[in-house]
């Protein structure tokens, strides 16, 4: 069988609800790699919060972070790193506009530096993974460089109005999407970026065509990736919109859905 590129989202997909990779799924991925297939991660997380899983799987491929805004190869310097940022004036305009909406916090990330508008212990537990430099205060005055991403933690009833505002005012310069539970978070990246864009760079580098890409996801930020892949697979716990465009729906992230598909698609030993 010709080599395939297996693309894995992390939260709600590769990881169980306990944020671990099950032994069955890990063993299946190892078997696929031994048979010549390539495995990569594509996540909304920064690299510092996904590196442990990259190392656990012993991957040798580039990784897509920040939903396509940052693509790099942790172990091969011949790969040309891709880092697309949001213009600082645009960020300040967005933060200014957010004063008219009900929200809880605003977070900007510049690679491994994190800027929080307001102190929040729960958010610090999430963004503190990988020991980044964390600063708190008005993002409009603290930020001095273009950030990789901007996150708006909104009150539930403000999510749709904020997204409408972003679509009406900033559609040409930024893209935005929702995080899944438990946080009502709107993530903003530079316009034209998504996981599929990052994966396309990697597939060309590996010389694996689109039709031999198998991608797994569960959320709003996986839509382009699932549509782009030759075989787009939605997890059983995924959102309905993703399932509606997927080529296949598998078991949940807690039921080794990835392993089930790969054993069937790649003729692995069950």
Exactly one of 9, 184, 218, 256 is catalytic; name it.
9
Distance separating the N- and C-terminal Cα atoms of the chain: 17
What the block records as the tokens of 108 is 């900007």
**Residue 9 annotated as catalytic:** yes
- Could you give phi then psi for residue 108, rounded to 5 degrees? -115, 140
Which string of DSSP letters, residue by residue, matches the chain? ----EEEE-IIIIIS-TTS---HHHHHHHHHHHHTT-EEEEB-SS-GGGTHHHHHHTT--S-EEEGGGTEEE-SS-TTS--EE----HHHHHHHHHHGGGS-EEEEEEEETTEEEESS--HHHHHHHTTT--EEEES-HHHH--S--SEEEEEE-GGGHHHHHHHHHHHSTTTEEEEE--TT--EEEEEETT--HHHHHHHHHHHHT--GGGEEEEE-SGGGHHHHHHSSEEEE-TTS-HHHHHH-SEE---TTTTHHHHHHHHHTT---
- Active-site residues: which are they? 9
């Amino acid at each position: 069988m010709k080599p395939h590129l297996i693309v894995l989202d992390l939260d709600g997909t590769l990881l169980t609800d306990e944020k671990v990779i099950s032994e069955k799924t890990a063993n299946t991925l190892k078997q696929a790699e031994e048979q010549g297939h390539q495995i990569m991660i594509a996540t909304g997380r920064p690299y510092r919060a996904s590196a442990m899983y990259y190392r656990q799987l012993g991957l040798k491929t580039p990784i897509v972070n920040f939903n396509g805004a940052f693509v790099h190869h942790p172990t091969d310097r011949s790969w040309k790193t891709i880092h697309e940022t949001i213009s600082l004036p645009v960020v300040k305009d967005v933060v200014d506009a957010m004063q008219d909406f009900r929200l809880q916090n605003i977070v900007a990330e510049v690679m491994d530096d994190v800027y929080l508008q307001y102190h929040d212990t729960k958010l610090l537990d999430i963004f503190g993974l990988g020991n980044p430099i964390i600063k708190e205060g008005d993002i409009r005055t603290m930020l001095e460089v273009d950030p990789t991403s901007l996150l708006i933690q909104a009150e539930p009833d403000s999510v749709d109005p904020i997204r409408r505002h972003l679509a009406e005012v900033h559609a040409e310069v930024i893209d935005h999407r929702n995080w899944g539970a438990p946080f009502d978070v709107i993530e903003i990246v530079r316009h034209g970026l998504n996981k599929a864009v990052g994966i396309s760079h990697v597939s060309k580098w590996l010389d694996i065509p689109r039709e031999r890409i198998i991608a797994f996801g569960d959320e709003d930020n996986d839509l382009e990736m699932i549509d782009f892949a030759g075989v787009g697979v939605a997890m059983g716990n995924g959102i309905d919109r993703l399932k509606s465009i997927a080529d296949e729906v598998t078991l949940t992230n807690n039921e080794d859905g990835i392993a089930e598909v790969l054993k069937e698609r790649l003729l692995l030993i069950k």
